[in-house]
């Protein structure tokens, strides 16, 4: 179903010609959300992340250093439910694995990245 131009305004159009479907609008919103989250993760890294960026003048420096000095997480951290440090480390590693799979598939099939992703999501992009 196409989006209503009166309700969505210019977000409902593609290149000023056609209105987009709700599925494509959801993909657009999800992409913008993921971009914002990843941008914030680079600007404000969590304290349990890499200890390389810990500021020695930070008030909680000793606490953050102790967390980072606990020996690391290994290749596959223990699976714990909820928003835990191990879950975040695992999510990051799985995301990198997905990106590497995308790059390898792109190199093998000699197609653009977006064409590969479009195939993987069943043609939802275009």
**What is the rounded (10 degree) CA torsion for 53, 47, 45, 74?**
80
pLDDT above 70: residue 81: yes
Write down the domain spans for the chain: 76-126
Find tokens 């000095």 and name the residue: 69
The pair of three-digit structure tokens given for residue 122, joined into one six-digit string: 């069943």
pLDDT-derived band at 13 (thresholds 50, 70, 90) equals: low
What SS3 class is residue 13? strand
For residue 9, pLDDT beyond 70: no
CA distance linking residue 39 with residue 56, whole number of Å = 24
94-104, pLDDT tens digit by residue?
A: 888 999 999 99
């Amino acid at each position: 179903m196409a989006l209503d131009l009166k309700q969505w305004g210019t977000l409902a159009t593609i290149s000023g010609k056609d209105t987009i479907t709700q599925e494509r609008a959801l993909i657009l919103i999800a992409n913008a959300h993921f971009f914002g989250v990843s941008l914030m993760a680079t600007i404000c890294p969590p304290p349990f992340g890499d200890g390389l960026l810990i500021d020695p003048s930070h008030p909680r420096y000793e606490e953050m250093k102790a967390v980072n000095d606990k020996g690391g997480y290994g290749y596959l951290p223990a699976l714990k439910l909820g928003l835990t440090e191990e879950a975040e480390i695992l999510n990051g590693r799985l995301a990198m694995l997905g990106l590497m799979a995308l790059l390898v598939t792109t190199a093998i099939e000699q197609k653009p990245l977006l064409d590969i992703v479009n195939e993987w999501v069943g043609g939802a992009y275009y």
